[in-house]
């Protein structure tokens, strides 16, 4: 059984750097999960897919799922508390010190440099989950089919304004047909 | 006697407020699928319009703070409103309220998953959903790019960060710290040369973007 406290601490660390919401920490989460061998190989991606089918931020959902897989209900609680706690503390701190903290010049210039990095991190996540995480060669049926579904999903959300939950359900059906 | 009664009433009122705070966010939690900026209009309606817990003039502040601090926009907004109304206990009540429904849903999904994960069709469906998740990540990156990349410095920082992450094993946190450093240096350098440094995309374009289509899963 993985140490609950260790899990809590790792997810606090992930929570602290989760600027730009959840997507920016997915690859970090994968790294930490395999470093602590919380999940069997290849399971992370499946869990992120499961996380996508539930309401709520995908990173928080993924944290709950990883905690549950590794340590049962207490693991789920430890991981979720860990990833949410930094947000709570930072917001309380900001609200207590000054509502105008984000008007501060140093804070503004920091965010000016940080936002493009977060954009890069999210773009990296997309590439990483799209191509790089399949160990075998780049052009497998698996990769091609995944990309076809991705392109379809993108089109459905942007052009046809379909609700993401419908897109997720449709992709699940497409998965059953294609794989 | 009277004093104690007064004290009790105050304690009860405070408890009542915390319970209300918890219940309001419990309802908001799963109502918008995904959270993120899509949650802001719902919060505005429930908190500002219906209950008057936050003046309309604070909404701008709320969106800036909730979007800039680490973590999900919905959770951050809940913490901010909870704190404004009921101090630290209020913030805790709001965050627990907004997190709990999805926590329970995810735990139930986890149970289903552990029962059905070896089913071939379930595995195939999850592979399909993986494709949709990639699409949503691309969408998130695109939306972030539209507000974050508005001059040469930010575009160069984006390219450098992406290349570092793809082709080296530099830690993500180091890259983030690097971005913060470059941001501060760039603004100072621009101001030394007498330019007015813009650190954000101008308000009008940001607002138009924020409402053009909802952002999910952030």
pLDDT for res B1: 42
Q: Which residues contact A100 (CB under 8 A, 6 or more apart)?
A: none
Average pLDDT score, chain B: 85
pLDDT for res B2: 44
Q: Measure in Å the smallest separation between the Cα of B47 and chain A Cα atoms.
A: 17
Portion 94-113 of A in contact with B at CB < 8 A: 94-96, 99, 101-102, 105-106, 108-113
Q: What is the mean pLDDT of residues A91-106?
A: 81
Determine what percent of chain A is predicted with pLDDT higher than 70.
92
Q: Measure in Å the smallest separation between the Cα of A4 and chain B Cα atoms.
A: 17
Report CA-CA distances (Å) from B3 to B7, B9, B79: 6, 10, 33
Domain count, chain B: 1
Q: What is the mean pLDDT of residues A81-89?
A: 95
Say if A173 is an interface residue toward chain B (CB within 8 Å): yes
pLDDT for res B180: 94
pLDDT for res B203: 53
pLDDT for res A30: 93
pLDDT for res B72: 87
User: Are the Cβ atoms of A108 and B72 closer than 8 angstroms?
Assistant: no
B35, B73, B131: residue with CB nearest A171: B131
A vs B, Cβ pairs < 8 A, gives 369
> Pick from B28, B31, B39, B30: which is nearest to B214 by CA?
B39
- Note the pLDDT tens digit of each residue in A28-81: 999 999 999 999 888 998 999 999 888 888 899 999 999 999 999 999 999 999
Confidence of residue B209 (pLDDT cuts 50, 70, 90): very low
Q: What is the mean pLDDT of residues B40-47?
A: 88
Predicted confidence (pLDDT) at residue B51 exceeds the cutoff of 70: yes
Q: Is the dihedral of CA A157, A160, A161, A162 positive or negative?
A: negative
- Note the pLDDT tens digit of each residue in B55-86: 888 888 888 888 888 988 889 999 999 999 99
pLDDT for res B212: 36
Q: What chain B residue is nearest to A131 in terms of C-alpha separation?
A: B134
Predicted confidence (pLDDT) at residue A120 exceeds the cutoff of 80: yes
Q: Residue B218 and residue B211: Cα distance in Å, rounded?
A: 15
pLDDT for res A50: 93
User: What range defines the domain where residue B26 resides?
Assistant: 1-116
* Chain B residues closer than 8 Å to A147 by CB: 131
Beta-carbon-side half-sphere exposure of residue A112 (alpha carbons within 13 Å) = 25
- Among the residue ranges A115-124, A127-136, B179-188, the one predicted with the least confidence is A127-136
Q: Residue A104 and residue A116: Cα distance in Å, rounded?
A: 19
Q: Choosing among A18, A56, A143, which should be mutated to test the B contact, i.e. which has the most B CBs within 10 A?
A: A56
Confidence of residue A133 (pLDDT cuts 50, 70, 90): low
- Asked if residue B186 is part of any domain, the answer here is no
* Chain B residues closer than 8 Å to A152 by CB: 131, 135
Token readout for B73 is 């926009």
What's phi and psi for A21, nearest 5 deg?
A: 80, -160
pLDDT for res A134: 58
Q: Which residues contact B120 (CB under 8 A, 6 or more apart)?
A: none
User: Are the Cβ atoms of A49 and B127 closer than 8 angstroms?
Assistant: yes
Q: What is the mean pLDDT of residues A158-162?
A: 86
Say if A176 is an interface residue toward chain B (CB within 8 Å): yes
- Asked if residue B192 is part of any domain, the answer here is no
User: Are the Cβ atoms of A56 and B30 closer than 8 angstroms?
Assistant: yes
- Asked if residue B12 is part of any domain, the answer here is yes
Average pLDDT score, chain A: 89
- Note the pLDDT tens digit of each residue in B120-146: 999 999 999 999 999 988 988 888 898
Q: Choosing among B28, B97, B141, B182, which should be mutated to test the A contact, i.e. which has the most A CBs within 10 A?
A: B141
Predicted confidence (pLDDT) at residue A4 exceeds the cutoff of 90: yes
Report CA-CA distances (Å) from A173 to A24, A166, A170: 27, 11, 5
Q: What is the mean pLDDT of residues A19-23?
A: 80
pLDDT for res A56: 82
- Asked if residue B140 is part of any domain, the answer here is no
pLDDT for res A57: 85
What's phi and psi for A70, nearest 5 deg?
A: -80, -35
- Asked if residue B214 is part of any domain, the answer here is no
pLDDT for res B10: 76
């Amino acid at each position: 059984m993985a140490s609950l406290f260790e899990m809590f601490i790792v997810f606090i660390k992930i929570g602290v750097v989760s600027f730009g919401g959840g997507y920016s920490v997915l690859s970090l989460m994968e790294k930490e999960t395999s470093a602590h061998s919380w999940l069997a190989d290849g399971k992370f991606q499946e869990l992120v897919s499961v996380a996508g089918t539930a309401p709520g931020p995908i990173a928080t959902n993924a944290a709950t799922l990883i905690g549950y897989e590794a340590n049962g209900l207490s693991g789920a609680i430890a991981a979720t508390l860990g990833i949410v706690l930094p947000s709570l503390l930072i917001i309380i701190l900001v609200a207590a010190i000054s509502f105008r903290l984000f008007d501060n010049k140093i804070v503004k210039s920091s965010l000016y440099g940080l936002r493009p990095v977060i954009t890069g991190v999210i773009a990296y996540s997309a590439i990483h989950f799209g191509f790089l995480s399949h160990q075998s060669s780049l052009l497998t049926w698996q990769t091609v089919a995944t990309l076809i579904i991705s392109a379809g999903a993108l089109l459905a959300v942007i052009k046809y304004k379909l609700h993401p939950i419908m897109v997720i359900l449709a992709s699940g059906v497409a998965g059953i047909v294609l794989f | 006697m009277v004093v104690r009664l007064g004290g009790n009433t105050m304690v009860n009122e405070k408890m009542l407020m915390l319970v209300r705070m918890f219940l309001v966010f419990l309802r908001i939690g799963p109502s918008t699928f995904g959270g993120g900026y899509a949650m802001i209009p719902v919060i505005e309606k429930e908190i500002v319009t219906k209950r008057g817990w936050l003046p309309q003039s604070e909404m701008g502040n709320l969106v800036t703070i909730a979007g800039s601090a680490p973590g999900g926009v919905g959770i951050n907004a809940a913490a901010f409103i909870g704190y404004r109304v009921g101090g630290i206990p209020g913030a805790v009540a709001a965050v627990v309220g907004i997190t709990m429904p999805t926590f329970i849903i995810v735990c139930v999904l986890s149970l289903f998953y552990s029962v059905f994960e070896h089913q071939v069709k379930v595995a195939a469906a999850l592979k399909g959903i993986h494709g949709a998740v990639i699409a949503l990540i691309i969408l998130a990156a695109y939306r972030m790019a539209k507000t974050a990349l508005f001059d040469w410095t930010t575009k160069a920082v984006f390219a450098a960060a992406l290349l570092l992450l793809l082709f080296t094993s530099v830690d993500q946190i180091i890259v983030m710290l690097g971005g913060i450093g470059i941001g501060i240096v760039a603004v100072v350098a621009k101001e030394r040369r007498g330019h007015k440094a813009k650190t954000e995309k101008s308000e009008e374009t940001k607002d138009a973007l924020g409402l053009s289509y909802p952002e999910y899963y952030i």
